[in-house]
Amino acid sequence: MKIEVGYGNSVQSVEIPEKNIIKILRANPAPQDAGPAGEEAVREALAHPIGSPALKEIIQPGEKIAIMTSDISRPMPTWDVMPALLDELYEAGADPSDITLVFARGSHRQQTEEERRHLAGERAWREIRCIDSDPEACIHLGTTSRGTPIDIMEMVARADRRICVGNIEYHYFAGYSGGAKALFPGVSTPEVIQANHSMMVDERAHAGNMDTNPLRQDIDEAAAVCGIDFILNVVLDEHKKIVHAVAGDVKEAHRAGCAFLDSLYQVAIPEKADIVIVSQGGAPKDANLYQTQKALDNAKHAIKDGGTIIVVGSCHEGMGSAVFEEWMTAAERPEDLIERIRVNFRLGGHKAAAIAQILKRADISLVSEMEPDFVRSIFMEPFDQLEPAFAKAMSKHGPEARIIVMPFGGATLPVMR
């Protein structure tokens, strides 16, 4: 059987005996009762909140309202949801001068005025205040049971009402994005991010896990101390268009959104594989290893201990992050990366630690345009074609090797059923 997976602007192909293939993972079709999409989905969600009164019944005239949303590094189309959200707030009697849209930067860089304007959309930009979060302007509200300081941007903490906006997708150590994450650690401090995100090395901190994920539990605990009055979250398709929206209680509405995401992108597998072939689907998602890592991390849920993951991604831009590259190349062994992230969480370094966790369980072959010696220096076996990479894996695991193929690895999460 001929298998093709995206690779830059082309494909890589290989012949695999059909008897060896467990499954080729693709996104599930949208549920027939998915409801409207786009702005209509947002208005529908606001009209039918989950676990909460309608927003216009919560807001009182004269109250100061803080809306937290994603910064430029996330795919959240804030400009598409703000018109409906503002209409709801104005109907409740809110004055535009009392509303502030806060871009939750976490540990990301400050944004330009042009970026803030783009994210807010023209209407919100004209009508309300739109600012970046400021880690230097936080107040301390306590400490979680896991020892994480609850430091929240003062303007947000002192607001009368707090609304979290975001998109729900799989997050490889928080379980899912969205929900309370826009508040905590979105508008907090580097110390908060270090304490919370260092839990990523816990085996329960992985994509698709909410109930026993210590990192997500820490987020929800801290958010409960500060308080979140309402959320508006959306689910996006592969083209970053809104296909579903949920609104209401910070936990109930978020969990409903996660369940919808699962119905689209969680794919059941009957067994784990000896060999997993995974791709981001080609350009532009495989331009560098920083982006391609997302597919690799999803693939770990489909591989047996001792198996081989073949990652297919052009990576013509190289690593995609100076910090990521420094961490990967400075380590003498993968375990060094896991120890380093425990004491010094850094964006970029977290990707290196995530790869190191996979390397504890499986070999990684990388089919890319990167220099072979460099690929070896970051603990992977280099190839420039899929065929020899697959042949090498088969020689290791034998002619009866069981195989899973993930052509769009970043968007599908394998789950044992």
Sign, CA dihedral 324-343-359-278, equals negative
Gap between the Cα atoms of 398 and 274, Å rounded = 9
**Are 272 and 304 within 8 A, CB to CB?**
yes
CA distance 396 to 100: 58
Answer whether residue 308 shows pLDDT above 80: yes
- Overall average pLDDT of the 193-211 stretch: 93
pLDDT number for residue 196? 94
Please provide residue 312's backbone torsions phi and psi, each rounded to the nearest 5 degrees.
-110, 110
pLDDT of residue 250: 97
**pLDDT tens digits for range 76-134:** 999 999 999 999 999 999 999 999 999 999 877 889 999 999 999 999 999 999 999 99
Domain 38-265 has CATH 3.40.50.11440: yes
Mean pLDDT of 38-66: 97
135-191 pLDDT per residue, tens: 999 999 999 999 999 999 999 999 999 999 999 999 989 999 999 999 999 999 999
CB atoms within 10 A of CB 30: 16
| pLDDT score at 32 | 63
> Among residues 135, 285, 156, 271, which one has the least CA distance to residue 223?
156
pLDDT reading at 31 higher than 80: no
Cβ of 10: how many Cβ atoms within 10 Å? 11
Do residues 129 and 95 lie in contact, with contact meaning Cβ atoms separated by under 8 Å? Answer: no
Return the structure tokens found at 150: 């609850």
Do 38-265 and 2-27+270-416 have the same topology in CATH? Answer: no
Pair 338, 357: CB distance under 8 Å: yes
- The predicted pLDDT at position 54 comes to 97
The distance from CA 324 to its chain's CA centroid, rounded to whole angstroms, is: 17
pLDDT of residue 33: 64
Structural domain spans, the chain = 2-27+270-416, 38-265
Residue 78 CA, chain-centre distance (Å), reads 16
Helices (H), ranges, 161-280:
190-197, 214-226, 252-265
Question: Quick check: 401 pLDDT over 90?
Answer: yes
Q: How far apart are CA 89 and CA 95, in angstroms?
A: 8
Question: Tokens for 183?
Answer: 């508040």
Residue 388 CA to residue 236 CA, distance in Å, equals: 36
Q: d(Cα 232, Cα 165) in Å, to the nearest integer?
A: 5
- Whether residue 411 is predicted with pLDDT greater than 80 in this model: the reply is yes
Query: Inter-axis angle of helices 113-120 and 78-91, to 10 degrees?
Result: 60
Instruction: Write down the H helix ranges in 48-129.
Output: 55-58, 78-91, 113-120, 122-127
d(CA 360, CA 220): 30
From residue 311, how far is each of 137, 245, 317, 385 by CA, in Å? Answer: 42, 32, 16, 11
**pLDDT, average across residues 384-409:** 97
Asked whether the CA dihedral 289, 199, 177, 360 is positive or negative, the reply is positive
Q: Which CATH entry fits the domain spanning 2-27+270-416: 1.10.10.10, 3.90.226.30, 2.60.40.10, 3.90.550.10?
A: 3.90.226.30
Whole-number Å distance between alpha carbons of 17 and 402: 10
Give me the amino acid identity at 178.
G
Residue 259 contacts by C-beta under 8 Å, 6 or more apart in sequence?
none
Quick check: 302 and 405 in contact, CB under 8 A?
A: no
Query: Worst-scoring range by mean pLDDT, 33-42, 90-99, 372-381?
Result: 33-42
Q: Distance between CA 14 and CA 182 in Å, rounded?
A: 42
Q: With pLDDT > 70 as the criterion, what percentage of the chain qualifies? A: 99
CA distance 25 to 10: 20
